[in-house]
Structure 1
Amino acid sequence: MGIGTLEWTGAGERLDLLAEPVARAVKGLAADAGVRVAEIDPALADTAAFCERYGVRLDESANCVIVAAKRGGEVRYAACMVLATARADVNGVVRRRLDARKISFAQQEDAVSLTGMEYGGITPLGLPEGWPVLVDEAVAAHPGVVIGSGVRHSKLAVAGAVLAGLEGAEVLRLAN
């Protein structure tokens, strides 16, 4: 899977480029999952700068946002995967799916501490057990999207079907 101008290699061969929870998740995937990793400049990890520098189209990049769903004093977390060209309907589809009275993007420090990943690199691979992973149907159908690797100095390339097949994953129409 060649996306942009990056030099991709099998993620299992370069676990040093992944956050620890992501490395564990990659080890647990089937050998034919085809997850690839590429090293990048960490100063360019944010989507727009990354895409411009490495020749990746926005519709080849997917963002993972962590949301905090609140109901009856309980807070539950979930991940939402949408293409970089779209926005997740957090206050509509996501709030209803998580049966929350109130929903918001998770605080940066909470997202980092709970996932064990760097902000700007959070990915659905290696999230805490039991977290729902809501995958937009456009991401699930994509032959290969670029996502975070848990750290800012690399990115993963993965088929949308792999994301849709993760434990706790559910494919929905998230983008509005």
Structure 2
Amino acid sequence: MATIDATLADTDAFCTAYDVAPEASANCVVVAGKRAGEVTYAAVMVLATDRADINGVVRRHLGVRKISFAPHDDAVSLTGMEFGGITPVGLPVDWPVLVDAAVVAAGEVVIGSGLRSSKLLLDGAALAQLPTAEVLDLAQR
């Protein structure tokens, strides 16, 4: 874990300030899917250069009818992490962690630590080893 300036936690600012290539940075977004009144939360990991296909691949994989980014307050309260620093490490045990195959293949990547004031550096393949991780082709390229 490396300490950073919390005002530079957002990906673009972080990569510029700390001279990290966007393809060596992965973002974690929390999504909320709904089906028959049930809400399913999941974490989605994609490289900073890519966008996750939330309404297509992720929605179908989770088997939900509607999906969106989880509301800010829900993401913070359910994860116990700071918005803008959410990481797949330490999420609720019943949440799927959907990892884009490009993240797994990227080698070392920088991800959130749960706090805006620090980042983690790890091999993207390590994310595939998380207990609820599933590796998929998630990105719209």
TM-score (norm 2): 0.98
Counterparts of 1:115 and 1:121 in 2: how far apart (Å)? 11
For 2:75, the aligned partner's letter is: A
Q: Is 1:144 equivalent to 2:108 in the alignment?
A: yes
Cα deviation, residue 146, structure 1:
0.2
Structure 2 partner of 1:5: none
Structure 1 partner of 2:72: 108
Q: Is 1:61 equivalent to 2:18 in the alignment?
A: no
Counterparts of 1:167 and 1:96 in 2: how far apart (Å)? 21
Q: Which runs of 5+ in 1 are unaligned?
A: 1-36
Cα deviation, residue 160, structure 1:
1.1
Sequence identity percentage: 68
Cα deviation, residue 39, structure 1:
0.5
Structure 1 partner of 2:39: 75
Aligned residues: 140
Cα deviation, residue 129, structure 1:
0.8
In the TM superposition, 1:89-108 aligns within 5 A as: 89-108=53-72
Cα deviation, residue 115, structure 1:
0.2
Counterparts of 1:162 and 1:130 in 2: how far apart (Å)? 19
For 1:103, the aligned partner's letter is: I
Cα deviation, residue 68, structure 1:
0.1
Q: Which runs of 5+ in 2 are unaligned?
A: none
Specify the SS of the correspondent of 1:65. strand
Cα deviation, residue 143, structure 1:
1.2
Determine which of 131, 153, 162 is the counterpart of 2:117.
153
Counterparts of 1:141 and 1:58 in 2: how far apart (Å)? 14
Cα deviation, residue 171, structure 1:
0.3
Counterparts of 1:60 and 1:160 in 2: how far apart (Å)? 9
Q: Which structure: greater strand fraction?
A: 2
Specify the SS of the correspondent of 2:120. strand
TM-score (norm 1): 0.79
Greater C-alpha radius of gyration:
1
Counterparts of 1:72 and 1:146 in 2: how far apart (Å)? 37
